[in-house]
A and B are shown apart, each in its own frame.
Chain A
Amino acid sequence: MTVRVQAEPFDAGAELDAFAQGRTDIGAVVSFTGVVRDTKGDLQEMLIEHYPGMTESAISKIATEAVQRWDLADVLVIHRYGPLAPGAPIMMVATASAHRAAAFEAADFLMDYLKSRAPFWKKEITGDGATWVAAKDADEDALKRW
């Protein structure tokens, strides 16, 4: 299990290659990459604030729960903070398992929990000013699935 919280960019493809490399005990690798989306065409920058210390422990707790609930060979979570350009990768999760159902479900679970339980806050900077992104009720509701 690897959890990284970093300001630096990452290469999702290279991370995924390294994640599964050399393993012969897994039959499935699932990954998700979150990207800065410019919904209205005026986004200059996405600024991500986090709670150093709690961020790492909250993500580790979520990843540990995934490992306990599904038969996973490994889990990777990378999440960035600081200023990000439109189109830049924000975060990724990868799960490895013997079978695909566990890998898919665990990745979905990780994403739902990272959205609402990892202490990150997004701020969108546009030509008109800066706005904090509000949490969606749907994101909180998504946790009830698990």
Chain B
Amino acid sequence: MNVIYFAWVRERIGLPQETVQTDAATVNDLIAELCAREDRYAAAFADTSALRVALDQELSSFDAPLAGVREVAFFPPMTGG
């Protein structure tokens, strides 16, 4: 699946998006997999209460299932307007 990062999450991880091969069942499982890879992921995902997630461009939750999802995006709380 395509994983996209925005704002300081993108800066901490060091790339805007990547393709991830995963069998993770939920968003939390995917985060655990990414954090186990490298410190920069652990740094970005240290406090998920400071993060938001969108699944296929719809705001979602961290315990949401990933079955059928093509695009996951992680970002800080939005500051539009």
Kindly report which residue of chain A lies nearest to residue B11, judged by CB atoms.
Answer: A132
- List residues of chain A with CB within 8 A of the CB of B76: 121, 132, 134-135
- List residues of chain A with CB within 8 A of the CB of B75: 51, 119, 121
Question: Across the interface, do A91 and B77 meet the contact criterion of CB distance under 8 Å?
Answer: no
Question: Across the interface, do A120 and B80 meet the contact criterion of CB distance under 8 Å?
Answer: yes
Judged by a CB distance under 8 angstroms, whether A7 is at the interface is no
Number of A-B contacts (CB under 8 A): 67
Question: Across the interface, do A117 and B78 meet the contact criterion of CB distance under 8 Å?
Answer: yes
Judged by a CB distance under 8 angstroms, whether A115 is at the interface is yes
* Residue-wise interface mask of A (58-84) relative to B, using a CB-CB cutoff of 8 A (1 in contact, 0 not): 100000000000000000000100000
Judged by a CB distance under 8 angstroms, whether A123 is at the interface is yes
**16 A-B pairs with C-beta separation under 8 A:** A51-B4, A51-B57, A53-B57, A58-B57, A90-B81, A111-B81, A114-B80, A115-B79, A115-B80, A115-B81, A117-B78, A118-B78, A119-B75, A120-B80, A134-B76, A135-B77
